């Protein structure tokens, strides 16, 4: 068999092909976009909220996660916007929290967040440093989140680790279809 010689032209061609492949993989699949509804039965018990919907939308490298929370008759909405191109700083970061704990967003606190697509674009990884208020004052909490989209695109699993918590929180969301809305 003759060996394939890589001419300069061929090197350019294949190099461009590989670059194009990586470029494609650096963008998420569109599966994560849309409305997702918390499946209470499959998730870590959530105190202080009866239901949670996430509405995720991408615009270029930006990803917005709208939280639509409900507790009794109270409806609460909050949005976090991340950017895979660069870390962001938020003054009004929202996290789904266990509201029976005396842990509150710190007044005038700032949250630093880095977003990355991993696992061939199936997982959104967020690394968040936020300030919370506890009885001893303001302290830092490091949060690691992975939003994993299932192969069929119908389930979104949020796995969340806190620097202060050995037990991970796992929230499972189901895609809300047009009929179910």
List of residues contacting other proteins (CB under 8 A):
44-45, 47-48, 71-72, 74, 98-104, 107, 132-137, 139, 141, 162-167
Residue position matching structure tokens 């009794």: 72
- Contact criterion met (CB below 8 Å) for 78 and 97: no
| Residue 167 φ then ψ, to 5° | -95, 120
Q: Which is nearer to other proteins, 59 or 74 (CB)?
A: 74
Cβ at position 173, least distance to other proteins in Å: 19
Cβ at position 49, least distance to other proteins in Å: 9
Cβ at position 127, least distance to other proteins in Å: 19
- Contact criterion met (CB below 8 Å) for 125 and 118: yes
- Label residues 121-136 b or e (16+ Cβ within 10 Å = b): bbbbbbebbbbbeeee
Q: Which is nearer to other proteins, 46 or 115 (CB)?
A: 46
User: Cα separations (Å) of 165 from 27, 42, 44, 142, 168?
Assistant: 31, 20, 14, 10, 7
Cβ at position 102, least distance to other proteins in Å: 4
Q: Which is nearer to other proteins, 115 or 169 (CB)?
A: 169
Q: Which is nearer to other proteins, 3 or 166 (CB)?
A: 166
């Amino acid at each position: 068999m003759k060996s394939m010689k890589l001419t300069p032209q061929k090197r350019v061609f294949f190099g461009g092909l590989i670059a194009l492949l990586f470029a494609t993989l650096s963008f998420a699949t569109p599966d994560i976009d849309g409305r997702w509804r918390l499946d209470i039965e499959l998730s870590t018990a959530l105190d202080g909220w009866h239901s949670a919907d996430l509405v995720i939308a991408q615009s270029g490298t930006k990803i917005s996660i709208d939280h639509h929370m409900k507790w009794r008759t109270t409806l609460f909405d909050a949005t976090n916007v991340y950017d895979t191109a660069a870390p962001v700083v938020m003054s009004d970061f929202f996290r789904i929290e266990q509201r029976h704990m005396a842990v509150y967003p710190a007044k005038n606190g700032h949250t630093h967040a880095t977003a990355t697509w991993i696992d061939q674009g199936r997982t959104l990884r967020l690394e968040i440093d936020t300030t919370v208020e506890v009885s001893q004052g303001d302290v830092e909490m490091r949060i690691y989140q992975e939003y994993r989209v299932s192969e069929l695109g119908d389930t979104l699993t949020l796995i969340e680790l806190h620097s202060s918590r050995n037990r991970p929180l796992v929230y499972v969301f189901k895609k809300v279809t047009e009929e179910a809305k």
